[in-house]
Chains A and B, each alone.
Chain A
């Protein structure tokens, strides 16, 4: 983990209440896809943890949803605004376990961390399939971006307005895959856990205090003992999860 100052390069609304923010700054502390950053906002006591969508040496792409006052405030920040960010938090996904045909499953704002993961897996010569789940058509984002990486992409909407009608698990039926990576709301993760036929990894969300393992605010029980979502997670392996 490092504390760095990042400068906002651009911000755009890409779906209903969902923003894509590009920042410039030192990303050396990021060691894996699926890690997150923790952003200090003026006027708010706690930092805001946001998953890393994509990064290279000097740039960071974040996608976040305006769920509360803090993220609403963040969506108003103008280009050039400097942000105090803790970078390289959490464990991230382990690409070494993916096999040849990994399945990536994201729901809502659980989609962003899978983007860099998908890029890495393709870079490693693997053939990922991606399922992106949303509630409505207006919520859908990043379908094209994943396709451009070269992944096969299925989109589901609960409303049936777009793509496959139903949940991400409805798109899993006839797929063959070697491993899965997922991120999204807990009920979705549970459904994937139950439906999946291989080992895999699930990225969890929890209300955090510090984001770096000090306060024990986001602890959970696993088959391998108590873990902190922020430090030992957010990614847990399927075999260790206790529901």
Chain B
């Protein structure tokens, strides 16, 4: 019997599979399809202080082995999330969730974090300083080591829960940002958010996405994500939740060998709503295939020698 348990800053997960924020709502859409308690956890839709409609449509464009989204942090705002969404979520998920937090200012990050700190169902605060789809928004915090550290400090001040900072790949040196977050007290790193991308309709000669640019995700970005997780693992001591194009159990193992302690699955959910359940079921068999008894022994395994 193989052991799929992993530990994120004291939070023990039955397995490392975590659907990524923005692809899993608040869980209940998927709970209609399967019992989502088979998951290690899931990261709920990025939540801001105020309700947000998000960006104009079209928000979606297809790419080879991936897609671009420009949703723009649509969410009902923290009040409604706590009053309406979390109670519905708790009816279908009895494990701790990852609370994804968006923001446009240090105060907003701190405020939303403080509110979610009081929720028992929240196991980890995942602070998104990397959304590529909001102007003047989170992205600026994620591209500057000083600001990334400042967000980390402000959130750490208001919570006792583990704080994971979600990083953008759209920077020259992601290692520097990750180290700045670690130095500021982050308990872990979540990486990577989407890559800034674009599609143009050749017939109309216009950008497919109304906002022109959006976040590129899907299996096409897996090698980029893997490389960045590998680099950051070398530079920090805190755990990494690895994500970016993970689509099957073997990708999960590869991401963990690069240095991830747990793995998020994003765009793949949108194409195959059962993919996370499938990966959870496949994982023990694939572990056996590669002679892995416990996932704990493979984290960062590709860095040996």
CA distance A47 to B275 in the complex (A): 14
A22-45 near B? 1/0 per residue, CB < 8 Å:
000000000000000000100011
A221 CB-CB contact with B under 8 Å:
yes
Size category, B interface? 35 or more
**Residue-by-residue, is B65-85 near A (CB-CB < 8 Å gives 1, otherwise 0)?**
111010100100000000000
Decide yes or no whether A46 CB sits under 8 A from chain B.
yes
Q: How far is B137's CA from A206's CA once the two chains are assembled, in angstroms?
A: 26
B54 contacts partner chain A, Cβ-Cβ < 8 Å: yes
Residue of B nearest to A231 (CB): B29
**Most chain B C-beta atoms within 10 Å of own C-beta, residue among A40, A70, A208:** A208
A209 contacts partner chain B, Cβ-Cβ < 8 Å: yes
B54 to A210, Cβ gap below 8 A? Answer: no
A-contacting 9-mer, from B17-25, B177-185, B279-287: B17-25
Give every chain B residue within 8 A of A213 (Cβ-Cβ): 25, 29
Q: Say yes or no for B96: interface residue by CB 8 A criterion.
A: no
Alpha-carbon distance A141/B267, docked complex (angstroms) = 37
The CA-CA distance from A63 to B29 in the complex, in Å, is 28
B54 surroundings in chain A (CB, below 8 A): 216, 219
Contact between chains at A47 and B271 (CB < 8 Å) = yes
**Are A221 and B270 CB-contacts (below 8 A) given A45-B64, A46-B60?**
no
A3 proximal to B (CB < 8 A): yes
Chain A residues near B65 (CB-CB < 8 A): 45
Over the window 108-129 of chain B, the binary record of Cβ atoms lying under 8 Å from chain A Cβ atoms (1 yes, 0 no) is 0000000000000000000000
Secondary structure dominating the interface of A: loop
Q: A69 to chain B: closest CB distance in Å? A: 9
A97 close to chain B: CB less than 8 A: no
**In the complex, chain A residues whose CB is within 8 Å of the CB of B58:** 206-207
Assuming the contacts A214-B24, A219-B53, asked whether A207 and B60 have C-beta atoms less than 8 A apart, the reply is yes
B156 within 8 A of A: no
Say if the beta carbon of A212 comes within 8 Å of chain B: yes
B32 within 8 A of A: yes
In the complex, which residues of chain B have a beta carbon less than 8 angstroms from the beta carbon of A86?
A: 273
How far, in angstroms, from A86 to B69 measured CA to CA in the complex? 21
Report B-chain residues with C-beta under 8 Å of the C-beta of A214: 23-25, 29-30, 269-270, 273
Residue pair A216, B62 in contact (C-beta under 8 Å): no
* Any A CB within 8 A of the CB of B63: yes
Contact flags A6-26 to B (C-beta < 8 A → 1, else 0): 000000000000000000000
Output the residue of B33, B54, B267, B271 with the most chain A CB within 10 A. Answer: B271
Task: Identify which of B29, B63, B269 gathers the most chain A CB atoms within 10 Å of its CB.
Answer: B29
Question: Are the CB atoms of A206 and B53 closer together than 8 Å?
Answer: no
Is chain B's interface secondary structure helix, strand, loop, or mixed overall? Answer: loop
Q: State how many angstroms separate the Cβ of A197 from the closest Cβ of chain B.
A: 30
Which of B71, B74, B271 contacts A45, CB < 8 Å? B271
- In the bound complex, residues from chain B placing their C-beta under 8 Å from that of A166 are none
For A45, the chain B residues whose CB sits under 8 A away are 62-67, 218-219, 267, 271
Verify if B37 is at the interface (C-beta below 8 Å from A).
no
> Which residues 189-217 of A sit at the B interface, judged by CB distance below 8 A?
206-210, 212-217
- A87 is an interface residue with CB less than 8 A from chain B: no
Partner of B59, one of A46, A217, A231: A217
Look across to chain B and name the residue whose beta carbon is closest to the beta carbon of A208: B60
Query: Using Cβ atoms and an 8 Å threshold, which residues of chain A touch B94?
Result: none
Docked complex Cα distance between A32 and B297 (Å): 51
Chain A min CB distance to B79 (Å): 15
A217 and B71 form a contact (CB under 8 A): yes
A53 at interface (Cβ–Cβ under 8 A)? Answer: no
Known: A210-B273, A212-B273. A218 touches B62 (CB 8 A): no
A209 & B67 in contact (Cβ 8 Å cutoff): yes
B263-277 toward A: CB 8 Å interface, digit per residue (1/0)?
000010111111000
Collect the chain A residues with CB atoms within 8 Å of residue B218's CB. Answer: 45
A219 touches B67 (CB 8 A): no
CB contact between B67 and one of A40, A46, A206 (< 8 Å): that residue: A46
CB A92 to nearest CB in B, in angstroms, measures 17
Say if the beta carbon of A96 comes within 8 Å of chain B: no
CB-CB under 8 A for A217 and B273, given A209-B67, A209-B69: no
Check if A215 sits within 8 Å of B274, measured CB to CB: no
* Top 10 closest pairs, chain A to chain B, by CB: A210-B270, A217-B60, A207-B58, A209-B60, A216-B74, A46-B62, A216-B71, A217-B59, A207-B60, A209-B270
With A44-B62, A215-B22, A219-B71 known, 19 other A-B pairs at CB within 8 A are A1-B32, A3-B273, A45-B67, A45-B218, A46-B67, A46-B270, A46-B271, A209-B67, A209-B69, A212-B273, A215-B23, A215-B71, A217-B59, A217-B69, A218-B59, A219-B54, A219-B57, A219-B74, A221-B53
Residues of chain B having any CB pair with chain A under 8 Å: 22-25, 29-30, 32-33, 45, 53-54, 57-67, 69, 71, 74, 208, 218-219, 267, 269-274
Q: List 10 A-B contacts (CB under 8 A).
A: A40-B272, A45-B267, A46-B67, A46-B271, A208-B60, A209-B67, A210-B273, A215-B23, A215-B71, A215-B270
